[in-house]
Amino acid sequence: MDKKNIILVIDDDPLMLGALTSILSPKYHVKAARDGATGLVLANKYDIDLILLDVVMKNMSGYEVLAELKENDNTKDTPVIFITGREGTGEEAKALSSGAVDYIRKPIVPEIVTLRVGIHMQLITQMRIIERFSLTDGLTGVNNRRCFDQQLEVEWNRAARNGAPLSMLMLDIDHFKKFNDNYGHLNGDHALKTVANVLTNTIQRGTDYVFRWGGEEFSVILPETPINGAVNVAEKIRTNIASTPIFMGKETVRITTSIGVSTIVPDPATYPWGAAEFCEGIDKALYKAKSNGRNRVEVAD
């Protein structure tokens, strides 16, 4: 069964809140908030797909709520539909120019609410498919370098807010050029896919990320992981790759990897140059692993 999308409804009228929840709950998971402040908390806590937001509310208007949503990295891209009893094209234009994706008038008509929400859910699904392809490496199926750049910024800022350790691994297939020269590029592609599969299967937590950095190089981001935990993961990856056979017709070969590891508790004021220095340190640890004999893990200074 497909996972239901989550809709957040923010309205200070309990009757309207109940009506919208009744209309939408058969098809979607609905979260409800009776004021803007509570709505912002729920929007930040859950992975919300779409927000239905009343314009006129006590203490905090819909426009103020939308402005705060747009200022938050976690919610800035969540689409918002305004719901209001205000009339006039000027009011609708104001709502759309402020960042809302649609505008539904009160009194609501259940069929119209259902259709408009359904249209936006289809658009959300299509955009996510497009984004997923743009952030995925075509050969191995893991996240690509563009996705790495985006996710590192997200995890850097999250770790900085929480004062939590952020760990990262960078690994390189040993003697990969020689492998390609001996076995051909098609088998080289097979080796890259094998490494990606091992990485994906070794990384167990849903909060961890695997990326193809480029060529024969991969990286792994491990949020909220201290250095000893990161080294343990790196050793497990190294061991699993070294013990995984690569079948090429009648011949079976094995490959090894060199891995650099580092951990940091980020300072939010240092992004992006701090993150660049962090990656540079890991890269130096990787080359230290290579110069010390390969098939080993080294920790950045």
User: Which pLDDT value is given to residue 1?
Assistant: 42
Tokens representing 150?
């985006």
Q: To which residue do tokens 């599969």 refer?
A: 197
- Residue of 71, 216, 217, 280 marked catalytic: 216
Domains of the chain: 6-133 (3.40.50.2300), 145-299 (3.30.70.270)
Any idea how long the chain is? 301
pLDDT tens digits along 25-79: 999 999 999 999 999 999 999 989 999 999 999 889 999 999 999 999 889 999 9
Inter-residue contact 164 to 265 (CB < 8 Å)? yes
How far apart, in Å, do the first and last CA atoms of the chain sit? 48
User: Is 216 a residue of the active site?
Assistant: yes
Measure Cα distances from 223 to 195, 235, 254, 272, 279 in Å.
21, 17, 30, 17, 15
Torsion of CA 104, 108, 111, 113, to 10 degrees: 40
CA angle 167, 48, 35 (to 5 degrees): 120
pLDDT tier at 102 (50, 70, 90 boundaries)? very high
Mean pLDDT of all residues belonging to the chain: 92
Task: Name the nearest CA neighbour of 147 among 214, 53, 71, 228.
Answer: 214
Measure Cα distances from 209 to 69, 139, 238, 287 in Å.
26, 17, 17, 22
**Sequence-separated (6 or more) residues with CB below 8 Å from residue 142:** 136, 196, 199, 200, 210, 211, 212, 218
Q: Enumerate the H helices of the chain as residue ranges.
A: 14-24, 36-45, 62-71, 89-97, 110-134, 145-162, 176-183, 185-202, 227-242, 273-291
Instruction: Collapse the DSSP code of 123 into the 3-class scheme (helix H, G, I; strand E, B; otherwise coil) and give the result.
Output: helix
User: Which pLDDT value is given to residue 173?
Assistant: 97
Phi-psi region of 203 (alpha: psi -120 to 50; beta: other; left: phi over 0): beta
User: Which pLDDT value is given to residue 2?
Assistant: 57
Q: How many CB atoms lie within 10 A of CB 264?
A: 21
204 or 22, greater pLDDT: 22
Tokens representing 6?
């989550």
User: Which pLDDT value is given to residue 50?
Assistant: 96
Task: Name the nearest CA neighbour of 155 among 205, 98, 84.
Answer: 205
Backbone angles phi, psi at 170, to 5 degrees: -130, 125
CA dist., res. 258 & res. 84, Å (int): 59
CA dist., res. 284 & res. 301, Å (int): 9
Task: Name the nearest CA neighbour of 69 among 96, 94, 36, 30.
Answer: 36
pLDDT tens digits along 80-91: 999 988 776 777
Q: To which residue do tokens 């006590």 refer?
A: 58
pLDDT tens digits along 160-210: 989 999 999 999 999 999 999 999 999 999 999 999 999 999 998 889 999
